[in-house]
Amino acid sequence: MSWEAARCALDPEAVRAALGDAGVAVIEGTDVSDAEFVAFLERLGPLTFTEGEASHPGQPKLNVVSNMGRKTKPRSVFHTDTSYVSRPPAFTALKAERIPEAGGETVFTNQFDALERLDAETQARLKGARVLHRVTGVNPGDGAETETWHPLLRRHPVSGRVALWLSTPERCVDLELADGSRVPQMVAELYAHSTDPAHHWRHRWKAGDIVIWDNRCTLHKADHSAVVGDRVLHRGMVGGEEPVAA
């Protein structure tokens, strides 16, 4: 593994700097309410919400990520949040509410690193490619966006670095190269490359933790394979821009 998350204070400028450098920021030992959590995220930008998901009953700008009351483990695969809309969220943040006795880590990959690990010939072939992202897992309702073409090689609006930007193959249903040829099977190959376990970084949750990541250059998933006890997190998302091709 060649990268890891940055540790920083609960300060918007420190978080922006950390995200621009590492893609994931960890803020330890916080003791903030949901209202304070929302107020902090709003200092990073206007909040957004995934249509079709249920909001937190006491805070409509947040939703709850929980394993409580479930007979089966929640399903989780590496993905970037809500990528099927024209302006996907820039940042996602989780605030720890209940930490399980064991397990329940959140796992990340760095997509700048994923692109750099491809050979030069493959990188050249992917220049100008685009991917069709389609909604999965939620029902956004009538009139909501459900699919969008996005560039596969995405230039970060702050750092200028280029990421290999895709999501789970269930959501990335087609891939078109710059010459117009369609090679949807490449999605699974690039996804497997991106999520190589040798290049994961895992966050082991502790009470008071807040973790924020940049959806423009990371993939993430929850590891539910060995959870013992209740796992409850509150989630907020900061809106983003239309992806820019590299």
Q: Flag whether pLDDT at 155 surpasses 80.
A: yes
β-pairing, 210-214 vs 24-27, is antiparallel
In a domain, 246, yes or no: no
Q: Flag whether pLDDT at 95 surpasses 90.
A: yes
In a domain, 160, yes or no: yes
Beta bridge partners of 63: 235
Print the domain residue range for 16: 6-238
> What was the pLDDT predicted at 195?
98
**Is residue 5 exposed (0-12), middle (13-18) or buried (19+ Cβ within 10 Å)?**
buried
> What was the pLDDT predicted at 119?
97
For residues 148-171, average pLDDT: 96
Percent of the chain with pLDDT over 70: 99
In a domain, 243, yes or no: no
> What was the pLDDT predicted at 154?
98
> What was the pLDDT predicted at 63?
95
CATH number of the structural domain spanning residue 123: 3.60.130.10
Over residues 13-33, the pLDDT tens digits come to 999 988 988 999 999 989 899
Over residues 36-71, the pLDDT tens digits come to 999 999 999 999 999 999 899 999 999 999 998 887
Q: Flag whether pLDDT at 4 surpasses 90.
A: no
Tokens of 193: 């490359």
Q: Flag whether pLDDT at 133 surpasses 70.
A: yes
In a domain, 206, yes or no: yes
Residue 186: its H or E element? helix 185-194
> What was the pLDDT predicted at 1?
60
The average confidence (pLDDT) of the chain is 95
In a domain, 245, yes or no: no
In a domain, 22, yes or no: yes
Biggest CA pair distance of the chain: 53
Number of separate domains in the chain:
1
In a domain, 244, yes or no: no
Torsion of Cα atoms, 164 then 169 then 173 then 177, to 10° = 30
For residues 67-88, average pLDDT: 91
Task: Return the half-sphere exposure (C-beta side, CA atoms, 13 A cut-off) of residue 212.
Answer: 29
Q: Flag whether pLDDT at 97 surpasses 90.
A: yes
Backbone φ and ψ of 20, nearest 5°? -65, -25
pTM for the model: 0.95
List the helix and strand counts (H, then E) for the chain: 5, 15
